[in-house]
Structure 1
């Protein structure tokens, strides 16, 4: 770690970017307003004000600052990133039939599925309006591509999630789509708006990509070994929702016939009974796949840190390195 302090890295970054983050919050409130449909700000405010870390927009601001940007448009881009993220959360909770997010009831539970889907659509539309305002075609290309990649990743997950033939390669493709695409777009546009050299922009993209993959692998691991009060999720939700994540994919690759039959019944066919989650955890521990998955997450975090090498020395760079460490520190 580059700085020794009791403060969490994302809090330090938030502090270093406090003025910019305040401007992003103001723009979020302004653009999520709706003159004709009061339900839009109601639903959006429930999610936006649920106390999320706003890591993705912070990454855009950090990348722009690291590259010496002095204009106003990083605020628009950070807000765009947050709107895309919030829209996908609203849609995800409907698809997953979730009842809890960040320790609070989900919007689809408090209102209904229709409201969640349509407000998500509204936020996507708002994000496209916002991304045009800097007048940069490369920025629009990066963010619109990310929006398409996220949707593609979610659809791929629908078919891959309950298919025992899903490999680690397909899992990585899903993760790159549904999670890492927005991280890498968030960091890349910060460099692009600052007119940074090509190798710096590439470094920021690579950092965001690896950080996003590490982040999702950690999330999937915490589903089997996390602290519910800290994660706001119940242990085993992915198992109950029949989602094939990395620990299970690794266990299936090592399974004997009897174990494979268990995974076919519980994940492919969805016939789950009392004690199945405990048995799944026994198999994951037997094959050491939780530890192997943890090693993968740590390797991606290292990749994120080393990606920043071409960028100049800067306190923001140190904080980004610390954030990569922090993402995987949730596992210890």
Structure 2
């Protein structure tokens, strides 16, 4: 990739924006110039990148002049307002919020799964939900060989998925718990709601708000995004999303039903060497994926593969990934890399 680009990160001071910055350096993305954009409150502060200091600019329409790629991770309302403005000024937007994900005119892309969809973009590409990304990376190679009829997933999602305030709340609650001090909850399960519960020593069976059908928005994201990414509108998907007292790294218990007969060894063989997947499944030595050991790692880890006891084509998998990397920042950078390689930038 010899072409040099001007890159902007919108939401540069947030958890995902910080990881985007790190990934650009780590992966040696070809940068001519870079802009760090945030709210007016953060404008004027300095941020370090590649040994140099940069001033954070306020995210305004004019800030995108001369930008080739704009990485957005500052909330859906910011994307709704500014992504079209960035496109007007010639930028390609890769948006990490949920705002454009289900727009039929916006590709929703995980490069290992549906890279070809990038060719259909009209200036904006949506980055899927973190829990969706790791699941479809693990399931796509199985789907390609065996077909896919049903998915039932239960997630165990880290607090970093709710931002820095949720991380701090977990740390504070954990610190004071043993002293039997009052445990104050202000952030989880949903910051905008009026009722909150402790996350330390607890699990919360709610991520995002509830919808009319009893599923949360997070669960519906997994359901609808999976169908869109895989181009399987009739796929049966059900999700239960749970917040757990883990700082970083989402885990998922995934049950699938495939169309062709297969064995556990067949699944092993399919996943060995699959793009973006690392197989960790050695029960004799108690080897399986855990979020504590996948933090900071790029791949999606899969283990605990079992054939269902009752359904002849049913399988159970355990899937773990760093939600701030493959679930957000890394996937965004991989989209930009794929576009460069395919001459779409």
TM-score where L is the length of structure 2: 0.30
Query: Which structure is higher in helix share?
Result: 1
TM-score where L is the length of structure 1: 0.31
Query: Which structure is higher in strand share?
Result: 2
